[in-house]
Amino acid sequence: METCIFCKIVAGEIPSKLVAETEHTIAFHDISPRQPVHVLVVPKSHHRDVVELSKHAPFELLDLVQLGNRVAEQLTNGSFRLQFNTGAEAGQTVFHAHGHILSGTPRGSVDAVPMSEDEALG
C-alpha cells in the first residue's frame, strides 16, 4: 500500500533502526518505546491486522512469531510479551499487521548489533 508507513519502511523509503530480518519479516525498534525493549515485528507483505494475516498468509505469521522469539532471545533476559493490537479500539494505530516485543528486562544493551539473516533464521 503506497500510504502505509510500514510498507514504506519495508521498501526502504523510510529509515528504521533494524534489529533483524528474514525473507518475510522485518523487526525494528519502535520510535516511541513504552518499555526498555520495544521492537516491532512486521510482515513484509501488507495485511490489515493479525487476523487477516492468519487467514491469508499463515506461514508469514509463523515466520513473524519465530523472528519475534529470536529477537526477544537476543534483547531480553527471557521475560517478554509478544502483543498484537487488532482494531482501533484495541489500540492498533498502524493498519498493517505487526507484533510488539515488549520487555522491562533487557539483556545487555538495547542497542545490540542487528542479527544477520542466518542468525534470524536460526
Task: Choose, from 29, 38, 47, 98, the residue flagged as catalytic.
Answer: 98
Q: Which has the closest alpha carbon to 19: 64, 84, 71, 66? A: 71
With contact defined as beta carbons under 8 Å apart, do 25 and 60 qualify?
yes
Instruction: Tell me if residue 100 is catalytic.
Output: no
Active site residues: 98
